[in-house]
Structure 1
Amino acid sequence: MTRGEGLRADSIHFTLDGSPFRILGGSVHYFRVPRSYWKDRLLKLKACGLNTLTTYVPWNLHEPEKGVYYFHDQLDLEAYIRLAAELDLWVILRPGPYICAEWDLGGLPSWLLRDKNMKLRTTYSGFTAAVNSYFDKLIPRVAALQFKRGGPIIAVQIENEYGSYAKDEQYLLFVKEALMSRGITELLLTCDNREGLNCGGVEGVLQTINLQKFSYGAVQYLADLQPQKPLLVMEYWSGWFDVWGGPHHVFSADDMIAVLKELLERGVSINLYMFHGGTSFGFMNGAVDLGSYRPQTNSYDYDAPLSESGDYTTKYHLLRNLLKCFQNEELPQLPSVQSTHAYEPMVISEHVSLWESRECTEKPFRSDDPVNMENLLLNHNSGQSYGYTLYETTIYRGGALNSRNHVRDRALVFVDKRFIGVLDYRKQEIAVPHSERERVLGLLVENCGRVNYGPALNEQRKGLIGDITLNHTPLKKFTMYSLDMTPSFINSLRSLKWWSTCKTPLYPAFFRGRLIVDGQPRDTFIKLPGWHKGVVFVNGQNLGRHWYVGPQKTLYLPGPWLKTGDNEVIVFEEHRAEGKIHFTDNPLHGKISDVSRQPFCSLL
């Protein structure tokens, strides 16, 4: 089916197919929501009074290895867009290539960093060649779903907040042409915060603004920048993200509604970021580094109108009441709420040590000098992207072990498998006990998440990124094991012969138990009181990290990832296991901090 003209921005109001149109949008990321729940979340978006879905597209999931593409199952973007169309929702697509999104490396694949000269988000030939190859696969899939071709996509965003990065004045033009040359014909947008508007524009593309607290000056600045153009707040921040070791951020529902009411009464179009945050499952969380490195949590609840598990919140109901006033038709009935369940505590039955799990890794890589994670020449020749890397070398004395700030991001240090301390950004030297005999020094280095925003984006190689010294002498002759904890690694782990039921595990270790589900599986939340730090897997699915520092105290476990009967739970634990895994029917967010009472800069 073909249509006439699509979304136009030729006056102070949008038109769609020639009729006045106001964008009432909400962000829901298909890659943060189990596919079984896509329809539920989008029905709730529509029932709230919104007419447009916005979503990013994460390059690092769709092309996890160079030249290897995934667009099926959880990553079936076309199915997600078609579902929106079935529910009478329009779509604004935000394909990047960079997306920010509090997502590892802003959605860029880590294999780009194998090029020592890489300059991300520029017209550097190594980057543009990779973008072109990726867009050759991505854009034809979505071009067919544009408005003029009968689909729901009414606008496409060029990159994301480039005005805050602005490393290359030709870059946005390159992305624009890369989209248009592959068949994108709908309205093109950019988005920036107030400070980035001056540098974030490109000719012929509508600029939009991101904000949380209402500022007449910021909105008027956008209006003055684009006279006789419609105003769109592309990201109205309904809440904020969390970092490990910080508070859980909330934004007052009353404050949110007051700002949205002001914007809507001024005729401004809006898109809530996020309407439903969901979860950065696995190792996909990003990090902040604007002077100090701070990784983000797996929960992307964002204090959004729909909670992490899709529950209605006070914000949802207040927002729905507000949007009723801007509708010509009665809103749909509210979809039912998914039930949750606190399963009985589960006893851990067996464990296997990190050292024994090395059998599950690919053939170890050996080098005179330590090699960063991305450049490990493993069997598949694509390097390691996520998880942990174990570096081992032989030492013949004790003394001062200094990382020279080459640990990215956190290393557990062992001598002959005995833990002696942690090296990270803050602590760069520890004492190695003296001995005259030959010993094995081990460093288990964790990639805690690559920075997703700011000038540090180009410096996100992980593992050991340079020499470490013992008594000022660089250590040599390393053996490196990739503990990436991918599904193939976990499958190999299951079949290991070393699983033990003895009561004294050697840490770090993997712990295993069985959760028996009677009847239809339901959503639940895992909590690990008495445990320290690690990763949780259920039926092979990586739920994400647990860490006693909070604020996230539970991990969301979707019901569709469980099955009636026997379910396998594996926990990788670095330091201390309590022996049981607990479940609750509600998330625990830890200490709360009110975003509306803080200056924006303090949140970064």
Structure 2
Amino acid sequence: MAVFSVRNSHKRRYVVLLLSLACFILYRHFRGPAGKIRINRSKGLGVNSSQFSLGGEPFRILGGSLHYFRLPRAYWEDRMLKMKACGLNTLTVDVPWSLHQPEHGEFRFQGGLDIEAFLHVAAEVGLWVILRPGPYIGSDLDLGGLPSWLLRDREMLLRTTYPGFIAAVNQYFDKLIPKVVPFQFQKGGPIIAIQVENKYGSYAKDGNYMSFIKEALQERGIREVLLTSDDHEGLRDGGLKGALRTLNLQKMNHDDIKYLEAVQPNSPVLVMELWTGRCDGWGGLHHSFPAEDLIAVVREILRRGMSINLYMFHGGTNFGFMNGALANPSYKALVTSYDYDAPLSEAGDYTPKYHLLRDLLSTFNKEVLPEMPGVRWKEEYEAAILFQHLSLWDALPYTHKPFKSQFPVNMENLPVNNGNGQAYGYTLYETTITTGGSLKSERNIRDRAMVFVNQSFIGIFHHKNLELAVPDGKEKRTLSLLVENCGRVHYGKDMDDQRKGIVGDILLNHTPLRDFTIYSLDMTPGFIVSLYRAPWKSVTIKPSFPGFFQGRLFVNGYPSDTFMKLPGWSKGVVFVNGQNIGRYWDAGPQQALFLPGPFLNSGMNQVIVFEEAEADFKIQFEDSPDLGMIVDI
């Protein structure tokens, strides 16, 4: 009897083990990206009642925006896990055409631009995805994410059915859309919706354009629900048959919600962009949307049964020259930080907004929220001494071959970069003068120019300063204008007029200047590497400006995030190990640049600074950000 009991006991354990294993396999098989039992994949996001459904089951979108191109690839998962721990179930991501196709025939989907890898991470973390492929995305990017080479066509009409624009969009979509089609919900992926363009209602130059974009997506295999997205200004003109209208706002606008419910009855309401803060412009203040005000809006939206997407949940950084600019009430370029006063800071740290959101959203989640991931260590490194100097003039042999032209030529139409022109950075225009007098820009400087006579600085042209005095002199002298593209406007009806450099005549004593030698200083990684061969000099010799300064940062052990401060410097760009970290400017508000640990090496790191006017010869590295003086929205 005892032997029989033992045998039965073993059999019972064996059966229990098999049942447990079978349950585990079934659980893993039916587990969906949102961490729950997978629902019917033949039924995508449903929009035919007052509430969303997904796979036939009730569903509320609790989303947040996150841009893979504004943070290191090594941090994608960290930011997504923090999103999940806050109680969100959906990630909204924009796709920047300008970064993926920097030249007409060149496409980049590697490294930090690997959209497929990003979508894989989202699925593994357990987040649904709303994809915003553009072609125009806005996103406070230079030209709203449209590539600058489009502007080489003098007749170009962006965001219309103009043949040149349509041909370019088709070429881009032919590369992009096949990469994301397999990630759709009905194919087992995380994408539950796709947005058709962005905020077209406030642009609305072409009544056929949105239909073209919709068809372009669908004929390439997009099958999930389509959305449009507009704010108060464009809500009435932004609709598209066969696409769900969604709303953008910062504070509750009951009239817009009523209008949306009236023109789109028996449909769920999604606030596609609930702005958690605002971008900052150089020369202004750091904008803050108080946490209590944000939470009050979120609470009211959810109380009404609506869905929501937080723009931004995590902003990140405008590395390089990707920042956009504001056109109204006057031109203002955006700063390097895209912190946005979001729930997760620029460096991925938790904020009071995050904690209040997590508390609120926990009441709308049926499951206990995951533990909050740890915060990454920030390091206060020893200051880097920039001990070598290279003047701008000595760096010119390492640029593109200079171009000679009787007339000034704008950046985009320069014969560089395989016929794609210059997208970003600086352009140097030089000509010969034989007299002094009044030099007028005629508003043809885009956006800011340092002016020199025989390499001696005489003044600056910008949007408010349109005239300079040139010293008298009858001998031949070289007049140089170093023009910076500070960022193309990213929103509004002025986008067709965003060519940079010198875009028309510059007058000296009412006579147009002619016979230019033009240097393209786009400051690409290749150009920075080429400077290694240049004749650098010790900074013990009085340096000239503008110029490049070189030094070293030593990192002992595993690199950590840090913040670069440049007190005593004026305006310029910082490169670390060839990576363009972004612009700095003592005009503020931003006083420190975020430097992520993945951009650093253990041991020695090269630091190069391009400075326009003044240098302190060292960079400080601190463990906390400084976004400047704050003003509440």
Bin the TM-score by the shorter chain: over 0.9
SS at match of 1:167: coil
SS at match of 2:205: coil
Amino acid at match of 1:47: A
Whether 1:111 and 2:149 are equivalent positions in the alignment is yes
Equivalent in the alignment of 1:594: 632
Whether 1:328 and 2:366 are equivalent positions in the alignment is yes
Structure 1 segment 395-434 matched on structure 2, within 5 A: 395-434=433-472
Amino acid at match of 2:125: L
Structure 1 segment 80-95 matched on structure 2, within 5 A: 80-95=118-133
SS at match of 1:362: coil
Contact 2:388 2:536 in 1 (8 A): no
Amino acid at match of 2:401: K
Query: Greater shift after overlay, 29-38 or 492-501?
Result: 492-501
Equivalent in the alignment of 2:200: 162
Contact 1:240 1:302 in 2 (8 A): yes
Contact 2:103 2:417 in 1 (8 A): no
Equivalent in the alignment of 1:474: 512
Equivalent in the alignment of 1:602: none
In structure 2, distance between residues paired with 1:517 and 1:290: 43
What does the per-residue CA deviation read over 1:534-583, in whole Å, with 9 as the maximum and x for residues that have no partner? 00000001011010010011100000110111000111000000121111
Alignment equivalent of 1:147, drawn from 177, 180, 185: 185
SS at match of 2:429: strand
Equivalent in the alignment of 1:219: 257
Contact 1:365 1:378 in 2 (8 A): no
Amino acid at match of 1:303: D
Distance apart, 1:498 and its partner CA: 3.6
Equivalent in the alignment of 1:63: 101
What does the per-residue CA deviation read over 1:157-188, in whole Å, with 9 as the maximum and x for residues that have no partner? 00000001111111100100000010000000
Distance apart, 1:382 and its partner CA: 1.3
Amino acid at match of 1:252: P
SS at match of 1:556: strand
Whether 1:369 and 2:407 are equivalent positions in the alignment is yes
What does the per-residue CA deviation read over 1:507-552, in whole Å, with 9 as the maximum and x for residues that have no partner? 0000011001111110000000010000000000101101001001
Structure 1 segment 557-596 matched on structure 2, within 5 A: 557-595=595-633
Contact 1:363 1:379 in 2 (8 A): no
In structure 1, distance between residues paired with 2:354 and 2:388: 43
In structure 1, distance between residues paired with 2:123 and 2:384: 42
TM-score with structure 1 length normalisation? 0.98
Contact 2:270 2:306 in 1 (8 A): yes
Equivalent in the alignment of 1:253: 291
Query: Aligned in 2, Cα 1:396/1:560: closer, same or farther, shift over 3 Å?
Result: same
What does the per-residue CA deviation read over 1:337-375, in whole Å, with 9 as the maximum and x for residues that have no partner? 000011111211111000011011111011000000000
Equivalent in the alignment of 1:385: 423
Structure 1 segment 65-464 matched on structure 2, within 5 A: 65-378=103-416, 380-464=418-502
In structure 2, distance between residues paired with 1:192 and 1:425: 30
TM-score with structure 2 length normalisation? 0.93
In structure 2, distance between residues paired with 1:348 and 1:63: 35
Equivalent in the alignment of 1:10: 48
SS at match of 1:117: coil
Amino acid at match of 2:363: C
Alignment equivalent of 1:500, drawn from 532, 538, 541: 538
Distance apart, 1:497 and its partner CA: 2.2
Alignment equivalent of 2:566, drawn from 502, 522, 528: 528
SS at match of 2:538: coil
Query: Greater shift after overlay, 386-395 or 287-296?
Result: 287-296
Percent identity (aligned): 61
Contact 1:238 1:251 in 2 (8 A): yes
Amino acid at match of 1:420: I
Equivalent in the alignment of 1:601: none
Amino acid at match of 1:476: R
Whether 1:21 and 2:21 are equivalent positions in the alignment is no
Q: For structure 1, list consecutive stretches of 5 or more residues without a partner in the other structure.
A: 596-604
Equivalent in the alignment of 1:598: none
Distance apart, 1:500 and its partner CA: 3.4
In structure 2, distance between residues paired with 1:13 and 1:6: 14
What does the per-residue CA deviation read over 1:436-487, in whole Å, with 9 as the maximum and x for residues that have no partner? 1100000000000000001111110000001101100011100000000000
Equivalent in the alignment of 1:600: none
Amino acid at match of 2:471: P
In structure 1, distance between residues paired with 2:209 and 2:419: 30
What does the per-residue CA deviation read over 1:30-74, in whole Å, with 9 as the maximum and x for residues that have no partner? 000100000000000000000000000000000000010001100
In structure 2, distance between residues paired with 1:47 and 1:500: 51
Contact 2:427 2:520 in 1 (8 A): yes
In structure 2, distance between residues paired with 1:169 and 1:588: 45
Equivalent in the alignment of 2:37: none
Contact 1:27 1:272 in 2 (8 A): yes
In structure 2, distance between residues paired with 1:378 and 1:245: 32
Q: For structure 2, list consecutive stretches of 5 or more residues without a partner in the other structure.
A: 1-28, 30-39
Distance apart, 1:255 and its partner CA: 0.6
Amino acid at match of 1:45: M
Q: Which protein shows a greater Rg?
A: 2
In structure 2, distance between residues paired with 1:42 and 1:64: 27
Alignment equivalent of 2:75, drawn from 31, 37, 54: 37
Amino acid at match of 2:462: D
What does the per-residue CA deviation read over 1:377-409, in whole Å, with 9 as the maximum and x for residues that have no partner? 126221100000000000011110111110000
What does the per-residue CA deviation read over 1:136-176, in whole Å, with 9 as the maximum and x for residues that have no partner? 00001001110011110000000000001111111100100
Q: CA RMSD in A?
A: 0.9
In structure 1, distance between residues paired with 2:208 and 2:553: 54
Query: Aligned in 2, Cα 1:452/1:497: closer, same or farther, shift over 3 Å?
Result: same
In structure 1, distance between residues paired with 2:593 and 2:233: 36
What does the per-residue CA deviation read over 1:273-296, in whole Å, with 9 as the maximum and x for residues that have no partner? 000000010000000002411000
Distance apart, 1:224 and its partner CA: 1.1
SS at match of 2:558: coil
Contact 1:509 1:574 in 2 (8 A): yes
Equivalent in the alignment of 2:18: none
SS at match of 2:194: strand
SS at match of 1:42: helix
